[in-house]
């Protein structure tokens, strides 16, 4: 790497560092919460992309698991039907089936036969998965011959298992190929992208993407702040849908996977200005590098076909991480409900005996990607004094709170019904706490107090969070409190892991003993 490359690589890394530092500060991103009402055309196009699409990473992972389990089951099934006494050698067959299936999946992976482009054309790639299966069974047979005296006793089973497994792979791969081609035509497995910046650079980028034979990018439109004189209303057949501020609202309405900034790397100040607006969105942000003569380290790049992109920001908690987090949420929510059901019953009875009205209270709050969700709580206020908008924060000695309400609010028992929100998928067990839509401090909504406030909505909100176990819970009666809470939330998003979630979850009951700010 020459000196020019080192210098430019430092600039790219420094750009990422600026974004991370600004995220940690919480109030250092001017303009980050700005958005504008989108025009009817943009709204119409956004409505076409409101349904979630399939992640290729998830599909490939599921395919690996499917092929392993099916080959394993075929091995056991063959033994059951051909053995005079199926119980005999059962555990040996089970072990051999597992080993053979695992080696097959590994060899197919090594042969790059789990790529979407390969899966689309199963007949062309037949030698890869057939070869993987053949080599795997050959290794199993060789192992039996070398290490078992009665290895020949497995000969019939191996031959039939090989034939049945081969037939399965041929049929299954062709069905998968048909499904992937169909999903590709229907747009189910595409990555939805928006081009930021118009003119000739955007046109060159679109043409480069269109020339890729295995392109899975669906361009949904172009957004640019410049007027028609410098940025045409239609670029390479795609309409300009509005300004960058309008893009923020567009991306919240549509399920956009990627924002591609089509600007030269020399325009670092303009790129950073755009990122100050766009980093609040739960999407990948890429910088097109197809027309740049400089070359960076491979880890900086992702590719669409042969078109290089510089990875600026990644969507947090994606693909298998999101699956693992969802499984974590469901498991621990069910455990909590099974242990805490007496608390639910006792609380419901106490609420009914203490004041008239329903046991539960529903409140609209901001959820993932700034969507409005209905959050369930135990009612802690007198029914006639309830504040669904949460415009007026609860204060110490608030006359609206019932006697039972004071206790369940201090102990956070009022939040327990949100476990049902977790099971429904609106919330996560751990994440930034969801704030009411109209929540404010000193008559200023939080988004006006903290620039970049909506960046905390890049992940699902949680029943508990990093800010709460660090003392930032309860009443928000000053600008500093919401700034610190947002800073802790953004730290959690940037440093998420399942172990981090587990740490927060198990620290929550301990830290709830501190009721200083809970009224």
Backbone angles phi, psi at 360, to 5 degrees: -100, 160
What is the extent of the structural domain holding 97?
56-186
How far, in whole angstroms, is CA 199 from its chain's centroid?
Answer: 32
pLDDT of residue 26: 44
Q: pLDDT per residue over 465-492, tens digit each?
A: 998 888 877 666 677 778 888 888 989 9
Domains held by the chain: number:
3
pLDDT of residue 17: 57
Q: Are residues 180 and 194 in the same domain?
A: no
Mean of pLDDT values over 3-29:
48
74-83, 160-169, 232-241: lowest mean pLDDT where?
A: 232-241
pLDDT above 60 (res 10): no
Residues listed for the chain = 519
How is 211-280 classified by DSSP, letter by letter?
A: T-TT--EEEEEEE-SS-TTTS-SEETTEEEEE-HHHHHHHHHHTT--EEEE-S-TT-HHHHHHHHHHHTT
12-16, 415-419, 511-515: lowest mean pLDDT where?
A: 12-16
The closest of 325, 196, 215 to 273, measured between CA atoms, is 196
pLDDT of residue 406: 85
Please write down the HEC assignment for all residues of 416-431: CCHHHHHHHCCCEEEC
Mean of pLDDT values over 351-370:
87
pLDDT above 50 (res 29): no
How is 316-342 classified by DSSP, letter by letter?
A: SS-HHHHHHHHHHHHHHHHHHHHHHHH
| C-alpha span between 507 and 105 (Å, rounded) | 40
Maximum Cα–Cα distance across the chain: 84
pLDDT above 60 (res 318): yes
pLDDT above 80 (res 449): no
| C-alpha span between 181 and 189 (Å, rounded) | 9
Per-residue confidence at 298, pLDDT binned at 50, 70, 90? low
Q: Are residues 135 and 237 in the same domain?
A: no
pTM: 0.78
pLDDT above 60 (res 2): no
Q: Are residues 369 and 408 in the same domain?
A: yes
Q: Are residues 443 and 467 in the same domain?
A: yes
Q: Are residues 280 and 382 in the same domain?
A: no
Average pLDDT, the chain: 82
Greatest mean pLDDT among 142-156, 263-277, 322-336, 348-362 lies in 322-336
pLDDT above 80 (res 185): no
pLDDT of residue 170: 95
Burial class (CB in 10 A: 0-12, 13-18, 19+), 4: exposed
User: Which of 158, 186, 214 is the last residue in one of the domains?
Assistant: 186
| C-alpha span between 217 and 204 (Å, rounded) | 15
pLDDT of residue 297: 53
pLDDT above 80 (res 300): no
Strands annotated E in 8-54: none
Q: pLDDT per residue over 244-294, tens digit each?
A: 888 888 888 888 888 998 877 667 778 888 887 888 888 888 888 765 544
List the end-to-end C-alpha distance of the chain, in Å, as a whole number.
59
The SS3 call for residue 346 is helix
In the DSSP assignment, the letter for residue 369 is: G
The SS3 call for residue 204 is helix
pLDDT above 50 (res 33): no
User: Which of 162, 186, 210 is the last residue in one of the domains?
Assistant: 186
pLDDT above 90 (res 102): yes
The closest of 34, 42, 17, 18 to 455, measured between CA atoms, is 34
Residues 6+ apart with CB under 8 A from 349: none
Q: Are residues 123 and 266 in the same domain?
A: no
The closest of 260, 296, 461 to 367, measured between CA atoms, is 461
Q: Are residues 495 and 362 in the same domain?
A: yes
What proportion of the chain, given as a percentage, has pLDDT over 90?
Answer: 29
Mean of pLDDT values over 298-322:
77
pLDDT of residue 108: 94
32-46, 317-331, 347-361: lowest mean pLDDT where?
A: 32-46
Burial class (CB in 10 A: 0-12, 13-18, 19+), 338: exposed
pLDDT of residue 443: 63
Q: Are residues 272 and 126 in the same domain?
A: no
Q: Is residue 287 part of a domain?
A: yes
| C-alpha span between 1 and 12 (Å, rounded) | 15
pLDDT above 50 (res 212): yes
Q: Are residues 277 and 410 in the same domain?
A: no
What's the angle, vertex CA 510, arms to CA 508 and CA 515, rounded to 5?
A: 90
Q: Are residues 390 and 503 in the same domain?
A: yes
The closest of 238, 221, 198, 235 to 49, measured between CA atoms, is 221
Greatest mean pLDDT among 224-228, 289-293, 403-407 lies in 403-407
């Amino acid at each position: 790497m020459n000196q020019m490359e080192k210098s430019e690589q430092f600039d790219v890394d420094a750009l990422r560092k600026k974004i991370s530092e600004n995220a940690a500060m919480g109030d250092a991103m001017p303009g980050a919460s700005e958005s504008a009402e989108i025009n009817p055309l943009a709204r119409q196009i956004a409505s076409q992309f409101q349904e979630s699409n399939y992640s290729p990473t998830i599909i490939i992972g599921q395919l690996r698991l499917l092929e392993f389990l099916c080959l394993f089951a075929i091995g056991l099934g063959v033994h059951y039907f051909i053995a005079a006494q199926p119980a005999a050698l059962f555990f040996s067959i089970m072990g051999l089936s597992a080993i053979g299936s695992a080696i097959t999946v590994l060899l197919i992976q090594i042969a790059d036969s789990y790529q979407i482009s390969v899966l689309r054309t199963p007949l062309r790639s037949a030698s890869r998965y057939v070869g993987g299966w053949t080599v795997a069974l050959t290794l199993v047979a060789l192992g039996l011959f070398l290490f078992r005296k009665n290895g020949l006793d497995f000969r019939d089973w191996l031959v039939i298992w090989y034939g049945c497994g081969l037939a399965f792979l041929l049929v299954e791969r062709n069905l998968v190929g048909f499904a992937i081609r169909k999903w590709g035509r229907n747009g189910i497995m595409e990555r939805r992208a928006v081009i930021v910046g118009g003119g000739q650079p955007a046109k060159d980028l679109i043409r480069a993407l269109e020339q890729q034979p295995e392109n899975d990018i669906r361009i949904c439109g172009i957004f640019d702040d410049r007027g028609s004189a410098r940025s045409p209303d239609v670029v390479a057949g795609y309409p300009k849908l509005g300004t960058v501020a309008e893009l923020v609202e567009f991306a919240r309405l549509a399920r956009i996977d990627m924002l591609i900034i089509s600007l030269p790397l020399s325009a670092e100040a303009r790129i950073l200005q755009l990122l100050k607006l766009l980093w609040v969105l739960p999407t990948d942000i890429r910088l097109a590098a197809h027309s740049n003569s400089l070359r960076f380290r491979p880890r900086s790049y992702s590719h669409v076909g042969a078109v290089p992109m510089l990875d600026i920001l990644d969507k947090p908690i994606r693909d298998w991480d999101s699956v693992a987090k969802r499984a974590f949420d469901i498991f621990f929510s069910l455990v909590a409900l099974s242990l805490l059901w007496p608390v639910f019953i006792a609380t419901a009875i106490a609420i009914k005996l203490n004041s008239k009205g329903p046991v539960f209270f529903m409140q609209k709050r901001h959820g993932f990607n700034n969507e409005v969700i209905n959050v369930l709580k135990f009612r802690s206020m007198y029914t006639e004094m309830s504040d669904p908008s949460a415009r007026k924060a609860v204060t110490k000695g608030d006359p609206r709170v019932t006697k039972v309400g004071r206790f369940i609010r201090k102990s956070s028992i009022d939040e327990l019904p949100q476990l049902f929100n977790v099971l429904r998928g609106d919330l996560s067990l751990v994440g930034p706490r969801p704030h009411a839509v109209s929540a404010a401090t000193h008559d200023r909504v939080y988004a006006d107090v903290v620039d970049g406030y909506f960046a905390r909505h890049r992940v699902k909100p949680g029943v508990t969070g990093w800010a709460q176990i660090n003392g930032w819970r309860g009443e928000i009666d000053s600008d500093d409190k919401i700034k610190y809470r947002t800073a802790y939330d953004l730290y959690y998003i940037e440093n998420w892991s399942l172990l981090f979630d587990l740490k927060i979850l198990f620290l929550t009951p301990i830290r709830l003993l501190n009721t200083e700010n809970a009224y």
